[in-house]
Amino acid sequence: MFKIKLMKSQSALPAGGQIPPSDFQIPPGVHFVEERGPDFRIYEVSTHIAAFVGYTQKSCGEGPVHIRNLEEFTRIFGGGDSAPLSYTLYYCIFLYFVNGGSECMVVSAGGLEGERCADDLIKGLWALKADISAAIVAVPEAVMLPDVAGCLAVQREMLRFCGESDYMRFAILDLYGGDEEMDASVKEFRAGIGNSYLDCGAAYFPWVKLPLYRLNSELILPASPLVAAVYGIVDNSRGVWKAPANESARYVTGCSIKLTQAQVMKLTSPSDGGVNINAIILAPGVGITLWGARTLIPEAVPARFINVKRTLSFLKSSISSSLNCFLCEPNSPETWRSIEKTVSSYLEGFRLRGGFFGTSSAECFRVSAGSAADSGIDSHEWPADQTILVKVEVAMIKPGEFIEL
């Protein structure tokens, strides 16, 4: 922090023609006085790192492992050469990286021997609880379980895991039987996914075709690894506030089912009030494209859009974790003003990057901080006079779903 002082020059010498020492120690002009204050700033959490849970050729402990590329995954967890094609995590990781995924966390739910069960995948999922970097969660092998009930149990747990986490989390779900007939898969999914934490995840249908050139064949895979890669690309190139829709995929030859326009509408805008499902379509001149940017929640609320939900989670996680530096500060108006200034300064930078809807700070966000004792809210873990409440209101960008020509 700097202060600017303007010093006036002397127009005449004092009596006796001598300049007192105190008058010429600081010459006239502009002077900068540096005052060091507390280093309070908002540090952004990561949004683009995905976490995958599944079965691997080589089991590697019970915790998450940071993977930077396919070669590193193969060295630690083994490859896919000797694995049955029904164990697809290796190919899913390949699909993730070939579509632009930069890094990821991997949890092995077990080796390739024995039967697969939902409990293994759920246990692997909760091994990610303490990991703060995984903002996107995918369990593509949930759809490879013996029955749809097990798959839905894993996916409900994925939503709960993301909804109850203190960190930024978002689940990407595939539909059981997404390589087959649409109506049965969609009906089972909507009937069994439940009603809890629906804003914490998004579903995609159908699956995609991955070419296996060395085998002169192709493998049909759930699309969640591809979708996770697209999320990361959009976050890094445009920002987390950009809807991850109308984005094309790489290294896939097609979809397991070619959807009609009527089928796409049934998925993305169900007339019966069912959960939203985003479509993967073959767009002319573009290729395989993600179509739709909605969470599972069917109600017409802001959190029904993926980018809105993820941006709110991103801001909450970034601001909450950064405000820990105020824990030892007094619960006083001076601290509240400092918090408001810190958060407002960060949100102004976020606005200038294009993250909010509006043309001015007043239109885009409001920040207020104060003692919980003055708020009338007493349901806090700590006494009200020891709690500082920070209220942040933001104007979010929603994707344009219909454009009139």
CATH number at residue 113: 3.40.50.11780
User: Looking at the 3D structure of the chain, how many domains does it have?
Assistant: 2
Q: How far apart are CA 117 and CA 5, in angstroms?
A: 71
Residues, the chain, total?
Answer: 405
Q: Do 98 and 197 sit in the same domain of this protein?
A: yes
Stretch 354-371: mean pLDDT = 94
For residue 210, the tally of other CB atoms under 10 A from its CB is 22
Q: Is residue 161 part of a domain?
A: yes
Q: Do 168 and 214 sit in the same domain of this protein?
A: yes
Domain that holds residue 127: 50-310
Q: Do 285 and 349 sit in the same domain of this protein?
A: no
CA-to-CA dists, residue 103 to 66, 70, 93, 222, angstroms: 7, 10, 10, 19
**pLDDT value of position 38:** 53
Q: Do 236 and 359 sit in the same domain of this protein?
A: no
> How far out from the chain centre does Cα 22 lie?
60
Among 7-21, 27-41, 56-70, 352-366, the range with the most confident prediction by mean pLDDT is: 352-366
Stretch 180-208: mean pLDDT = 96
Q: How far apart are CA 209 and CA 319, in angstroms?
A: 40
* Residue 338 CB partners (closer than 8 Å, separation 6+): 38, 40, 326, 329
Stretch 153-170: mean pLDDT = 98
Give me the percent of the chain exceeding a pLDDT of 70: 84
Lowest mean pLDDT among 65-69, 210-214, 230-234: 210-214
CA-to-CA dists, residue 312 to 164, 278, 305, 309, angstroms: 15, 20, 11, 5
- Provide the mean pLDDT of the chain: 87
pLDDT by residue (tens digit) across 267-321? 998 988 899 999 999 998 889 999 999 999 998 888 999 999 999 999 999 999 9
Instruction: Look at 35 and 393; give whichever has higher pLDDT.
Output: 393
Give me the percent of the chain exceeding a pLDDT of 90: 68
**pLDDT value of position 358:** 93
**pLDDT value of position 10:** 42
**Is the confidence at residue 156, as pLDDT, over 80?**
yes
pTM score of the predicted model: 0.87
Q: Do 264 and 392 sit in the same domain of this protein?
A: no
